A and B are shown apart, each in its own frame.
Chain A
């Protein structure tokens, strides 16, 4: 016997691309959940859970580069690719995010 997990995903428009300054992050609420959205200087978009799993730090206030997001409270770093922590602690959730006609669309 096998169990199949059924997942439904929903797309949410959370704001405009220009609401997130280049290289920074801003937090939006999508479907009752806080999501941090980042726009890197190379134009790419990323979305993660808003609070750091370590101590609840505000990830949108963190610093970024093409590989990682760094939490402002204790400098834990998480990879965009899969949300894993570079120091081996608990990972963060990452979400799909894209731009559609200037709108930020997060898929939860």
Chain B
């Protein structure tokens, strides 16, 4: 037999006498992709001076690239091309290669390796890199009496098996390949290329089930079949026919497939015999820690035979990472080096089809994002799985043009485009306009105010020259505002370039022609402390504007804290009477209930008040409070007094509520005290006015029972005292998972970061711009730089600014219940209408 990478005959190696060699003894069992790479890594770190290295290899060959066996089988590569390290290389580096010598067992007490040739080799450090072997599923007749495989049956794992198959192709005509994974498909394709008729039998319901989801697998099946390979899915072979040589296989459903060549590529199993015989801990593979150490301190395992944190890898990249880390550790280059797991990404051509696979193939958690583009006719199937705004998996079949970007995003956590579809396809910039043009005229654009595309086009045709005018005329986008960008697109399309530049679009409020930063500067410069003063000084002709007042009030409170001069008429009715106006002009009363935690006494008081004032409906809110709905304005002050509880701010453009779960005090899954942190957050930030409402939540574990992932600020306990802080989440008209701003290690750090974020948002967001628009507009990276790295030197000011707002907090109920802020503050606005008109439950 020809030895691959053999040393020319006659060459000899010189050995030092063991006793005279002061170097440590390093023995590697396994000369495959992992073992040989490990030796290379050791040599690269100068380990040749530290260690006498012995390598045992089961195969007689030098070290070759096992991944390249498929092209060899296909006749596309020659054997010599796949040699990585010939025997010479070992000799030149002073390595004692025992090629073709199988190791029987290790005496870990005596620290000796016993090999099949009877040799005993002592070691100081032992590395197991025994790899895997082809798994042959139990089938009647597959083995001869002596346990060897029936003639004509081959695994597909070694160069010898590959050679045997290549030799067989000249006399065989029909092949059955067992296994529809990567190796099986490649074997099938290669054999078919040699002119054999090939049938593929796969026990699972779709091809490459370990890497692809069902849909992608189905598309791959079509592509494989179009090559002329017959595919049988979801069926096992139970029997191999033939007395001397294989003649066929019988499937479980009784079908018989004739063949004179059978390739078994039904998966691999880690080679763990040596480890088991040597008393090392073996589960699915040899169990190692983060330094690749087995339960014996001087024995290590790397590559496919190692099981690290429950994972056994079948790809070369992790094996090579193992090799690096272990070389760092053993040579002392980095004694603290550790291996924490691999993110595996592969790009390959399987059976002529481009495939790239990384991470998971399907969503695993409820909140995983999953995007799929499937074009079965073109044989294209693309999908991505996103978790916490990071790419955790991608599958590209038939079209791998986006693989470079995706690999980067996967490996390095590169930021993902907001429009996830851009991960998979390149959208042309004209796409949005085309979409708008194709919308039928009667399709509803603004659901709040019932405005159709036709209404918007009509307003443009009727002379409205700007988006703002169209919105004023039609009231489109004046409800929840979630359609504003669509309205803008339609107006632009309808105006077809005739649109006037709308400078008002950049104004903080329509009545004062300034963007927010300029407006804040002017307010400070002119020392404007009331809304009427702002209009008098900064508005054109000093003219006030009803629609601007609320935003200006909020801004002045932000700039001046309790030094602003309040003007009731500049407030929206909700803020004037501290309740949320209902459809009939009544109000809702929501007492503060920090963190959603209440007491029997509180509930009793709420019940008594609800009965006394004949409250039409008592409802538990989404924010974990109790809402008393349908209250007459004139009853408000007395109700507040009877309740004796502070306002829950369920009406304002302000911090509203902090939802919590029961956390570690009660929940058996709780990792930390989310309830207390929620209460503390609500206490600190209660009532703080902001450009739009702020909802928060704190959860005690990632099960997210209080929905922290979809809050303006969401805090998630992740254990060991650490908390994740998410910002920009929403679950209203817009649904958006928050972006992970930072993971911090104390409740105090959560409070500081939350305050900083709130103040940054208060100072920079447009009026009514929720955090779910603000965060993507500004960009998470920038927010991180400003808040976490203090890149703009703002943090001290932000901290001071939020503290000013906290100091300015007064409970409005306690304040106005005692004495009205203005005459007739709580007088009925519809005295002749019997309220409530809302239904009484």
Find out whether the CB atom of A55 lies under 8 angstroms from the CB atom of B546: no
List CB contacts (< 8 Å) of A2-22 with chain B.
18-22
Find out whether the CB atom of B831 lies under 8 angstroms from the CB atom of A41: no
Given contacts A87-B472, A87-B473, contact A50 B569 (CB under 8 A): no
List CB contacts (< 8 Å) of B549-593 with chain A.
549-550, 567-570, 572-573, 576, 581, 583-585
Q: Name the CB-closest residue of B to A63.
A: B546
Whether B829 is near chain A, meaning CB under 8 Å from some CB there, is yes
List CB contacts (< 8 Å) of A66-103 with chain B.
66, 68-70, 72-77, 86-88
Find out whether the CB atom of B822 lies under 8 angstroms from the CB atom of A41: no
Q: What chain B residues lie within 8 Å of A60 (beta carbons)?
A: 829
Find out whether the CB atom of B585 lies under 8 angstroms from the CB atom of A57: yes
Whether B401 is near chain A, meaning CB under 8 Å from some CB there, is no
Find out whether the CB atom of B569 lies under 8 angstroms from the CB atom of A41: yes
Given contacts A58-B585, A61-B585, A63-B550, contact A27 B831 (CB under 8 A): yes
Given contacts A63-B550, A65-B543, A73-B581, contact A24 B568 (CB under 8 A): yes
- In Å, the complex CA distance between A87 and B451 comes to 12
* Min CB–CB distance A17 → chain B (angstroms): 11
Q: What chain B residues lie within 8 Å of A87 (beta carbons)?
A: 472-475
User: In this complex, which of B511, B585, B827, B831 has the most chain A Cβ atoms within 10 angstroms of its Cβ?
Assistant: B585
Find out whether the CB atom of A61 lies under 8 angstroms from the CB atom of B546: no
Whether B824 is near chain A, meaning CB under 8 Å from some CB there, is yes
Find out whether the CB atom of B568 lies under 8 angstroms from the CB atom of A63: no
Q: What chain B residues lie within 8 Å of A20 (beta carbons)?
A: 823-824
Q: Name the CB-closest residue of A to B462.
A: A88
Given contacts A63-B549, A87-B475, contact A23 B830 (CB under 8 A): no
Find out whether the CB atom of B547 lies under 8 angstroms from the CB atom of A70: yes
Given contacts A41-B544, A61-B585, A65-B545, contact A34 B831 (CB under 8 A): yes
Find out whether the CB atom of B544 lies under 8 angstroms from the CB atom of A66: yes
Selected from B545, B570, B573, B832, the residue in CB contact (under 8 A) with A72 is B573
Find out whether the CB atom of A23 lies under 8 angstroms from the CB atom of B833: no
Find out whether the CB atom of A75 lies under 8 angstroms from the CB atom of B549: no
Q: What chain A residues lie within 8 Å of B584 (beta carbons)?
A: 56
Q: Name the CB-closest residue of B to A50.
A: B830
Selected from A21, A50, A63, A88, the residue in CB contact (under 8 A) with B824 is A21
Selected from B549, B576, B822, B830, the residue in CB contact (under 8 A) with A51 is B830
Whether B294 is near chain A, meaning CB under 8 Å from some CB there, is no
Find out whether the CB atom of B473 lies under 8 angstroms from the CB atom of A88: yes
Q: Name the CB-closest residue of A to B829.
A: A58
Find out whether the CB atom of A22 lies under 8 angstroms from the CB atom of B569: yes
Find out whether the CB atom of B568 lies under 8 angstroms from the CB atom of A21: yes
* Min CB–CB distance B625 → chain A (angstroms): 23
Question: How many A residues are at the interface, by size bracket?
Answer: 35 or more
Find out whether the CB atom of B546 lies under 8 angstroms from the CB atom of A18: no
Whether B532 is near chain A, meaning CB under 8 Å from some CB there, is yes
Grouping DSSP codes into helix (H, G, I), strand (E, B) and loop, the B interface class, with mixed when no group exceeds half, is loop
Whether A62 is near chain B, meaning CB under 8 Å from some CB there, is yes
* Min CB–CB distance A21 → chain B (angstroms): 4
- In Å, the complex CA distance between A64 and B823 comes to 18
Whether B478 is near chain A, meaning CB under 8 Å from some CB there, is yes
Whether B71 is near chain A, meaning CB under 8 Å from some CB there, is no
Q: What chain A residues lie within 8 Å of B379 (beta carbons)?
A: none
* Min CB–CB distance A106 → chain B (angstroms): 14
Q: Name the CB-closest residue of A to B828.
A: A27
* Min CB–CB distance B768 → chain A (angstroms): 12
Given contacts A24-B568, A63-B550, contact A29 B831 (CB under 8 A): yes
Q: What chain A residues lie within 8 Å of B549 (beta carbons)?
A: 63, 65
Find out whether the CB atom of B572 lies under 8 angstroms from the CB atom of A55: no
Find out whether the CB atom of A58 lies under 8 angstroms from the CB atom of B830: yes
Q: Name the CB-closest residue of A to B587.
A: A61
Whether A59 is near chain B, meaning CB under 8 Å from some CB there, is yes
Find out whether the CB atom of B829 lies under 8 angstroms from the CB atom of A23: no
Find out whether the CB atom of B546 lies under 8 angstroms from the CB atom of A26: no
- In Å, the complex CA distance between A99 and B829 comes to 21
Q: What chain B residues lie within 8 Å of A25 (beta carbons)?
A: 829
* Min CB–CB distance A85 → chain B (angstroms): 10
Q: What chain A residues lie within 8 Å of B544 (beta carbons)?
A: 41, 65-66
Find out whether the CB atom of A23 lies under 8 angstroms from the CB atom of B570: yes
Q: Name the CB-closest residue of B to A76.
A: B475
User: In this complex, which of A33, A57, A59 has the most chain B Cβ atoms within 10 angstroms of its Cβ?
Assistant: A57
Q: What chain A residues lie within 8 Å of B570 (beta carbons)?
A: 23
Whether A36 is near chain B, meaning CB under 8 Å from some CB there, is yes
- In Å, the complex CA distance between A76 and B473 comes to 10
Find out whether the CB atom of B585 lies under 8 angstroms from the CB atom of A23: no
Q: What chain B residues lie within 8 Å of A76 (beta carbons)?
A: 475
Find out whether the CB atom of B532 lies under 8 angstroms from the CB atom of A41: yes
Selected from B478, B511, B568, the residue in CB contact (under 8 A) with A23 is B568
- In Å, the complex CA distance between A5 and B286 comes to 103
Q: What chain B residues lie within 8 Å of A70 (beta carbons)?
A: 546-547
* Min CB–CB distance B530 → chain A (angstroms): 10
Find out whether the CB atom of A62 lies under 8 angstroms from the CB atom of B573: yes
Q: Name the CB-closest residue of B to A27.
A: B829
Given contacts A19-B823, A87-B474, contact A55 B569 (CB under 8 A): no
List CB contacts (< 8 Å) of B167-191 with chain A.
none
Given contacts A19-B824, A70-B547, A87-B472, contact A50 B572 (CB under 8 A): no
Q: What chain B residues lie within 8 Å of A22 (beta carbons)?
A: 567, 569
Q: Name the CB-closest residue of B to A23.
A: B569
- In Å, the complex CA distance between A18 and B824 comes to 10
Q: What chain B residues lie within 8 Å of A18 (beta carbons)?
A: 823
Find out whether the CB atom of A61 lies under 8 angstroms from the CB atom of B581: yes
- In Å, the complex CA distance between A23 and B19 comes to 102
List CB contacts (< 8 Å) of B108-142 with chain A.
none
Q: What chain B residues lie within 8 Å of A58 (beta carbons)?
A: 581, 585, 829-830
Q: What chain A residues lie within 8 Å of B823 (beta carbons)?
A: 18-21
List CB contacts (< 8 Å) of A27-42 with chain B.
27-29, 33-34, 36, 41
- In Å, the complex CA distance between A60 and B824 comes to 11
List CB contacts (< 8 Å) of B521-535 with chain A.
532
Find out whether the CB atom of B829 lies under 8 angstroms from the CB atom of A64: no
Map CB proximity to A onto B448-459 as digits: 1 under 8 Å, 0 otherwise: 010000000000
Q: What chain B residues lie within 8 Å of A64 (beta carbons)?
A: 546, 569
Q: What chain A residues lie within 8 Å of B568 (beta carbons)?
A: 21, 23-24
Q: What chain B residues lie within 8 Å of A88 (beta carbons)?
A: 473
- In Å, the complex CA distance between A25 and B478 comes to 23
* Min CB–CB distance A42 → chain B (angstroms): 8
User: In this complex, which of A63, A68, A73, A74 has the most chain B Cβ atoms within 10 angstroms of its Cβ?
Assistant: A63
Q: Which 3 pairs across A and B sit closest by C-beta, in order of nearness?
A: A23-B569, A58-B829, A21-B822
Question: Can you list 21 contacts pairing A with B, beta carbon distance less than 8 Å?
Answer: A21-B823, A22-B567, A24-B569, A24-B576, A26-B824, A33-B832, A34-B831, A41-B532, A50-B830, A51-B830, A51-B833, A63-B550, A63-B569, A63-B572, A65-B511, A65-B543, A65-B546, A73-B585, A75-B478, A87-B475, A88-B473
**A interface residue numbers (CB < 8 A to B):** 18-29, 33-34, 36, 41, 50-51, 55-66, 68-70, 72-77, 86-88
**Further contacts, 13 of them, CB under 8 A, given A21-B569, A27-B831, A87-B474:** A18-B823, A19-B823, A23-B568, A24-B568, A51-B830, A58-B581, A58-B829, A58-B830, A65-B543, A65-B544, A68-B546, A73-B581, A87-B475
**B interface residue numbers (CB < 8 A to A):** 449, 472-475, 478, 511, 532, 543-547, 549-550, 567-570, 572-573, 576, 581, 583-585, 822-824, 827-833
